[in-house]
Amino acid sequence: MALDIPNIQSYLRERNLDGWLLADFHGYNRIAMDFLNVTGFVTRRMFYFIPAAGEPICLVNPIEENLYKHLPGEIRPCFGYKKVEAALAEILQGKKRIAMEYSPSGRLPYIGLVDAGTIELVAQHVKEIVTSADLIANFEARLTDEQVTLHRRAVKHVLAIKDEAFEYVADSLKSGSAITEYDVVQYVLRKFAENNMETDHAPICGVDGNAGNPHYESVKGQSSEIKKGQLLLLDLWGKLKQPKAVFADITWMAFCGQKEEIPQRLSDIFSTVARARDAAVEYLHSNFGKKPLYGADADDACRNIINQTEYAKNFTHRTGHSIGTSVHGVGPNIDNLETEDSRILQSGHLFSIEPGIYLEDCGFRSEIDLLMTENGPEVTTLPLQTEITPLL
C-alpha cells in the first residue's frame, strides 16, 4: 500500500502535531517496517520523518540505502552515531510536538516499540512526544474493501471447517474409533491446505481440563483422547494464501454426547460467556454514532457480565484482539485488563470478541469477529453460537 503522505499530513495538522517520526533499529519496530513496506536484511538505525507540511526525510545508513529508496521524500545517507544524532537534530529543529511508537507508562506495549534511549534522544529536541497509536490505527490497521472481501471468504471457510471438524469427531465417537485432540488439529490443518488457506499457528483443540488453558497446545503422542461425555473447545484461525489477505478467527464449544446429556452446570457457564460476548456487541451497537468508541470500554461491558458471577477471577485475558494480515493485528484491541486500549474504533477495524471462563476441570470461550463499518459494527462470523453444540 502506497504511503498517502498528503492524507497523513492533514491528519497531523488537525491534531496539532508537527510530524510523525518512525524510528527503527534491526527491524525491532515492526510497525514502522510494515507501514513503510521495508523488507530485506535490516541491521542499521533508521529515521523516517513525516512533517505536517513539506517533504518527508529518511535518515539511513548508506549500507542499507537501497532498502528505503521506494519511500517518498528525501533520502539522506548518514553513518556514525555522532553524524546521525546531528542530522536528527537538524531534522527536528523547531518541532514542538511529534508522534512516535511510544506508549506512555507502558499502558499500550504493542505500540511502545522504540527504545527508551531513542525517546530520550528525541526528547532533547522537541517539547512533547505523543503516542502514534491513533495514527497507526487510522492509516495501518483499517482494512481496504479488498481485504474485507478476503476476510469474508476466510470466514466462510473457517466456519465450514469448524463444522467438518465436529463431524469428524462425531463420526469417530459413533464408530468407536480412537481420536485425540492432536488428530483434530491435524484434520483442521489439512482442511486449511485443501482450501488454499494458511495459519500462523496450529489451532487449539482441548477437552475438559485442557479447555481450561487458553493457550493449550496438543502435542503428538501427548494429547488427550476425545471420549463421550467430554466438553470440547475448538479455536481455529486462518486466511487465504493471497497478498494482504486477512484472518478469520473463531472459537466454538461442543459436547461429545447428546443434547439432553449436557450437564446443566456446563450449559449455565456457557450461557454466561455468551451473554458477556453479546454485551460487548450491544455496547458497540447502542453507542455507535453517539460518542467515540474505545476497545477498553467494550472490554468493560463484556467483563462486567462475568464479574457479576462467581467466575470473575476465571476470565483472565482481554476480551478481544485486533485482526489483520496477522491474526493479532496492529489495530485497537478490546482490552481494559492487560492494557488500557484507548484507541478509537474506526470504520475498517476488525477485531475479535472472545470472553472466556477457565476452570480446573473445564474451560469455555466463545469467539466472534466484528468489523467496524460506516453503518456501524457488524459481526462477520454469523451464526452466533447460543448453546453448546451436541455432537451425537
Cell numbers at 89, concatenated? 537534530
**H or E stretch including 120?**
helix 116-123
Q: How far apart are CA 124 and CA 166, in angstroms?
A: 59
**Predicted local confidence at residue 2, as pLDDT:** 59
Q: How far apart are CA 387 and CA 252, in angstroms?
A: 10
368-373 and 376-379 beta bridge pairing: antiparallel
Q: Indicate left, alpha or beta for 305 from its phi (over 0: left) and psi (-120 to 50: alpha).
A: alpha
Cell numbers at 226, concatenated? 476425545
Q: How far apart are CA 68 and CA 314, in angstroms?
A: 47
- The amino acid at residue 121 is L
**Predicted local confidence at residue 1, as pLDDT:** 47
Angle at 319 between CA 116 and CA 379, to 5 degrees: 120
Q: How far apart are CA 375 and CA 366, in angstroms?
A: 25
- The amino acid at residue 127 is K
Residue 128 in 3-state DSSP? strand
**Dihedral, 97, 100, 105, 110 alpha carbons, nearest 10:** 150
**Predicted local confidence at residue 3, as pLDDT:** 83
DSSP letters for 298-347: HHHHHHHHHHTSTTGGG--S-SB-B-SSSSS-SS--B-SSSS---PBP-T
* Structural domains present in the chain: 5-139 (3.40.350.10), 145-390 (3.90.230.10)
Q: How far apart are CA 197 and CA 283, in angstroms?
A: 33
Kindly report, residue by residue over 107-161, the tens digit of the pLDDT: 999 999 999 999 999 999 999 999 999 999 999 899 999 999 999 999 999 999 9
Question: Per residue of the chain (392 residues), what is the pLDDT tens digit?
Answer: 458 999 999 999 999 999 999 999 999 999 999 999 999 899 999 999 999 999 999 999 999 999 999 999 999 999 999 999 999 999 999 999 999 999 999 999 999 999 999 999 999 999 999 999 999 999 989 999 999 999 999 999 999 999 999 999 999 999 999 999 999 999 999 999 999 999 999 999 999 999 999 989 999 999 999 999 999 999 999 999 999 999 999 999 999 999 999 999 999 999 999 999 999 999 999 999 999 999 999 999 999 999 999 999 999 999 999 999 999 999 999 999 999 999 999 999 999 999 999 999 999 999 999 999 999 999 999 999 999 999 99
CB 237 within 8 A of CB 322: no
- Return contacts of 31-37, CB within 8 angstroms, 24+ apart: 31/101, 31/111, 31/113, 31/132, 31/136, 31/140, 31/330, 32/101, 32/113, 34/140, 34/330, 35/3, 35/136, 35/139, 35/140, 36/3, 36/68, 36/71, 37/1, 37/70
**Predicted local confidence at residue 329, as pLDDT:** 92
Kindly report, residue by residue over 282-327, the tens digit of the pLDDT: 999 999 999 999 999 999 999 999 999 999 999 999 999 999 999 9
Residue 348 in 3-state DSSP? coil
> 6-27 burial by CB neighbour count: b if 16+ within 10 A, else e?
eebbebbeeeebbbbbbbbeee
> 120-138 burial by CB neighbour count: b if 16+ within 10 A, else e?
ebbeebbeebbbbbbbbbb
For residue 383, say if its preceding peptide bond is cis, omega within 30 degrees of 0: yes
> 253-268 burial by CB neighbour count: b if 16+ within 10 A, else e?
bbbbbeeeebeeeeee
DSSP letters for 6-64: HHHHHHHHHTT-SEEEEEESTT--HHHHHHHT--S---S-EEEEEESSS--EEEE-GGG
Q: How far apart are CA 313 and CA 176, in angstroms?
A: 38
Q: How far apart are CA 241 and CA 264, in angstroms?
A: 42
CB 218 within 8 A of CB 185: yes
